[in-house]
Every structure is written in C-alpha cells, then in structure tokens.
Amino acid sequence: MTKTYSDIDAVTRLLEEKERDLELAARIGQSLLKKNKTLSERNEFLEEQVEHIREEVSQLRHDLSMKDELLQFYTSAAEESEGDSSTCTPIRHNDSTLLVPSYFPLDSLQKKLKDLEAENISLRSEASHLETETEEYEEKEQQLVNDVVKELRDANHQMSTLAEELARKTDDASRQQEEITHLLSQIVDLQKKSKSVSGQYAVENQELTQHLGAAKDAQRQLTAELRELEDKYAECMEMLHEAQEELKNLRNKSLPLSTPRRFHSLGLFPMVRDTYTGVRVIKHCP
C-alpha cells in the first residue's frame, strides 16, 4: 500500500510539472503573438510613411518639371530679346532723346530667371535629399521587413515546436491519466481486499483469543488440580512414613519370635507413576 501511494504522489507531481510546462508554452505563444502584432503595426506605419514620402517626391518632381519648363521658356524668351536688341537700329534721332525699342522687360525677365534658377537649384537639392531619404527609408523598410519575416519565421517555427510539444505532452497527460485511473482502481480493489482480510484476521484473532482464554482457563484448572494432587501426595507420603514407622516397630517386636525376613520398605504398597509430576506414588491412600 505504501508503494502504491508513493507511485500516485509521483504521478501527481509529474502531472503538475506537465501542467506548468503547458502554461509556460501558452504564455510564450501569447508573447510571440503580441510581438508579431507589434512588428506588423510598426511595419504598416513605416509603409505609410514611405508612401507619403513617395507622394511628396512625386509632387516635387512634378513641380520641378513645371518650373523647369517655365525656366526654359523664360530663358528662350530672354535670348530672343537680347538678339533683337543687338540687331535693332534707332528709327529716329534727335538731340534730346534716343529711342530704343523694347519688346520685353529685360531686367524683370533676368530677375525672374535668376529666381527660377535659384529655386530650381533648391528644388533639385531638396529632391535629391528626399530621394536619399526615400532610399534610406526603403532600405530601413526592407531591413525591417526582412527582420519581421525572420522573426515571423522563427516564431512560426517556435509555435510549431511548441504545438508538437503540447500535443506530445497532451498525449502523455492522457496516458498518465489512464494510468492514474488504473492505479486508483487497483487502490480501491486493494482497499476492499485489505478490509476483507482485516475482517478475516479480526475474526481469526477473536477465535484465537477465545481459544487462548480457554487454554488459560484449562491451564489454571490443571494447575489447581496439580496443587491438589501435590497436597494429596504429601499426605500420602506422610502416611507412608507413619506406616513405615509402625511396620518397623512391629518388626522389632516380632524379631525374637520369627525368622528374620527382609522386606522392602515399600513392598506392602503398590506404586504408580503420577501422570502430571512423573513421581511414583502409593496407589492406595485413605
């Protein structure tokens, strides 16, 4: 019975360990799912940022293209204006004024041209900077995607491993539960047998106790009878000594009158062996 209980305790401790392992696997799975969710949200955020930057770059390129066309238009117009002014001759001279025909405001065009060139340079620099940032964001996004894919692959591998281990531990737990059920049924049977044997032993013990009591009573009775026989034996021995003394006296008195004969001192009385003490005693006693 002690061995059976120790086996049950061992199986119970093993089941508790299995339950703790299952809880740990579940917590690890939940942690991985949360981490995957966080990485997915971060990836979506970065993708939105990259898309926004791409739209800005596209808009800047469009603006740059329009301004480049406008710059080319003003440049060609300025060149035409300079050519016309160099070939043009005065129509009329007088002493007070010199008339120079002017088709375009040259100073204004040159100023606009310089402004457009400066703005073009600034836009090109900004576009280059945005392209560099876009490339960096794309590289970071690609690296993040690679990291997320790797982590997802590792997480899926871990989840697969944990699922296999969970299935294996579930099978072990089911098998151990069957063993526990079998052991419990054996314990119930052993308890029933133990109760039956205990009852049988109790009956036998009671019978043996009764026999022992009867044997003790018989022993006490035999002891009392033995003491009584010992007392009778002592009385008989005393009477024997008295009879021997009387016989001796009678012999002494009869010696001068008869031929001396030798008699055994106990020859006149038959002897028997006491059954209980093993001592030879006189059979006939008053």
**Each residue of 44-96: pLDDT tens digit?**
887 787 788 778 878 877 887 887 787 777 777 767 766 655 554 443 434 33
The length of the chain in residues reads 286
Q: Is 263 left (phi over 0), alpha (psi -120 to 50) or beta?
A: beta
CA dihedral 51, 52, 56, 58 (to 10 degrees): 20
Q: How far apart are CA 225 and CA 219, in angstroms?
A: 10
The highest-confidence range among 2-16, 103-117, 234-248, by mean pLDDT, is: 234-248
pLDDT of residue 234: 92
Q: Give residue for tokens 């204006």.
A: 81
pLDDT of residue 270: 47
Residue-averaged pLDDT of the chain: 74
The 3-state DSSP class for residue 282 equals strand
162 pLDDT more than 50: yes
Q: Which residues contact 118 (CB under 8 A, 6 or more apart)?
A: none
Between the alpha carbon of residue 147 and those of residues 83, 97, 158, 270, the distances in Å are 63, 80, 16, 126
127 pLDDT more than 60: yes
Give this prediction's pTM.
0.34
Helix (H) or strand (E) holding 219: helix 106-254
Please give the CATH number for the structural domain made up of 2-86+103-196.
1.10.287.2610
The 3-state DSSP class for residue 105 equals coil
Q: For 101, which DSSP code?
A: -
The 3-state DSSP class for residue 58 equals helix
pLDDT in tens, 245-267: 989 888 888 765 544 444 444 44
Mean pLDDT of 201-224: 88
pLDDT of residue 38: 81
Residue 105: pLDDT band with limits 50, 70, 90:
low
100 pLDDT more than 70: no
Q: Phi and psi (nearest 5°) for 64?
A: -65, -40
